[in-house]
Amino acid sequence: MIRFDKVTKRFPDGTEALKDVTLDLPARQLTAIIGPSGCGKTTLMKMVNKLENPTAGAIYIDDEPITGMDEVKLRRSIGYVIQRIGLFPHMTIADNVSLVPKLLNWPADKTDDRSKELLQLVGLDPAVFMDRYPLELSGGQQQRVGVVRALAGDPNIVLMDEPFSALDPISREQLQDELRHLQQEIHKTIIFVTHDMDEALKIADTIVVMKDGQVEQIGTPQQLIDEPANEFVRNFIGTERINQKRSFGDRRLKEFAFLFDTDWAGEAEEVEAKLSVSDAHQLLEQSGKPRLAIIDEGTLVGFAGERELLRAALHVEKEATV
């Protein structure tokens, strides 16, 4: 867990980017930090790997204060993905991905195996891409490599600073889907800064909404939809979006099988795939179980919890705006 305890950040020009922020970010979850430009979200994230230091207060990783930690060792233990990707153009994809493992003195065979495994997970065939150079890849492929490089050293924490915002809408949606799938495989503590509420609702386990250097609300996507803490949060999410997500709609579950989790191993309430998304959400709440097991003519097609049903609602909204 990452903990901020009464953290304030004041820049030399007098700008107060963060104001007495106390916040716990859960381990092994994807937390999205969102808010308008200048709200302090990127400053907050950069404090985790000491790219920014607090003026007052303390930051803890697993209850250990980071103040006395060696900056180089700390940064090598944390993955970092940025909007501009930052791949070295004169180095092959294999060399880009292996940077941190080499700094950590990993054996060559372990580094090679890790690189190939991660490239495969993000849909890039190692046999095709390992020996290519960044300029031979599309923007979306380069960003996938950026994610792989951040994960190559097997960090427990990954920081992602608006990594998909420069991509075209199709590549962005694909990478959002792949990040969710990847997180189901690796279960890292991911802090994802974004200005896009739909992106946050789609990918996050937890969302932190910020304004003027302070936290306005923290909660699950569904909690923000159902119970916005104040007028700012309500307006930032958008009344129309809130109403659409609450209603979920009458489309059938079977239409959204491609959005559902297939690896769930916990408790689940069985439902028929012909059930509407809206009815399924109501049944999920009544069941008290974390997931629905969706059955189509006797065959399991996937598992859906609040996030997956919310993603189905987001998909319907996106269709309506095309």
The last residue of a domain, from among 195, 210, 243: 243
Q: Tell me, yes or no, whether 255 and 235 share the same domain.
A: no
The average pLDDT across 166-193 equals 87
Comparing 260 with 65, the larger pLDDT belongs to: 65
Q: Give the pLDDT confidence score for residue 322 in this predicted structure.
A: 45
Q: Tell me, yes or no, whether 11 and 114 share the same domain.
A: yes
The average pLDDT across 37-54 equals 94
Q: Which region among 11-20, 114-123, 166-175, 183-192 has the lowest average model confidence (pLDDT)?
A: 166-175
Q: Give the pLDDT confidence score for residue 245 in this predicted structure.
A: 61
Q: Give the pLDDT confidence score for residue 244 in this predicted structure.
A: 62
Confidence class for position 247, pLDDT limits 50, 70, 90: low
Angle value at C-alpha 114, between 33 and 90, nearest 5 degrees: 80
Q: Tell me, yes or no, whether 107 and 27 share the same domain.
A: yes
Comparing 247 with 194, the larger pLDDT belongs to: 194
Q: What is d(CA 187, CA 157) in angstroms, rounded to the nearest whole number?
A: 10
Q: Give the pLDDT confidence score for residue 315 in this predicted structure.
A: 66
Q: What is d(CA 12, CA 14) in angstroms, rounded to the nearest whole number?
A: 5
How would you label 219-252 residue by residue, b for 16+ Cβ within 10 Å and e otherwise?
bbbbebbeebeeebbeebbeeebbebbeebbebb
The last residue of a domain, from among 222, 243, 264: 243
Q: Tell me, yes or no, whether 232 and 256 share the same domain.
A: no
Q: Tell me, yes or no, whether 316 and 198 share the same domain.
A: no
Domain span at residue 258? 248-321
pLDDT over 80 (residue 305): yes
Confidence class for position 221, pLDDT limits 50, 70, 90: confident
Phi, psi (deg, nearest 5) at residue 186: -105, -25
Q: Write the CB contacts of 295 (distance below 8 Å, at least 6 apart in sequence).
A: 270, 271, 272, 273, 301
- Measure the CA dihedral 321/183/26/207, to 10°: -10
Structural domain total, the chain: 2
Q: Which region among 83-87, 281-285, 297-301 has the lowest average model confidence (pLDDT)?
A: 83-87
Q: Tell me, yes or no, whether 139 and 265 share the same domain.
A: no
pLDDT over 80 (residue 118): yes
Q: Tell me, yes or no, whether 158 and 128 share the same domain.
A: yes
19 near 4, Cβ under 8 Å?
no
Strand partners, 226: none
The average pLDDT across 18-23 equals 97
* Domain harbouring 317, CATH code: 3.10.580.10
Q: Tell me, yes or no, whether 133 and 235 share the same domain.
A: yes
Residue 179 tokens, joined: 């990040």
Q: Give the pLDDT confidence score for residue 166 in this predicted structure.
A: 80
pLDDT over 70 (residue 36): yes
Q: Tell me, yes or no, whether 236 and 252 share the same domain.
A: no
Q: Tell me, yes or no, whether 31 and 178 share the same domain.
A: yes
Q: What is d(CA 246, CA 313) in angstroms, rounded to the nearest whole number?
A: 9
300 near 254, Cβ under 8 Å?
no
Q: Tell me, yes or no, whether 308 and 162 share the same domain.
A: no
- The one-letter amino acid code at 239 reads T
Comparing 128 with 186, the larger pLDDT belongs to: 128
The last residue of a domain, from among 197, 218, 243: 243
Q: What is d(CA 309, CA 222) in angstroms, rounded to the nearest whole number?
A: 10
* Domain harbouring 177, CATH code: 3.40.50.300
* Average pLDDT score, the chain: 89
- The one-letter amino acid code at 184 reads Q
How would you class 176 by CB atoms within 10 Å of its CB: exposed for 0-12, middle for 13-18, buried for 19 or more?
buried
Q: Tell me, yes or no, whether 99 and 195 share the same domain.
A: yes
Q: Which region among 92-101, 160-169, 249-258, 271-280 has the lowest average model confidence (pLDDT)?
A: 249-258
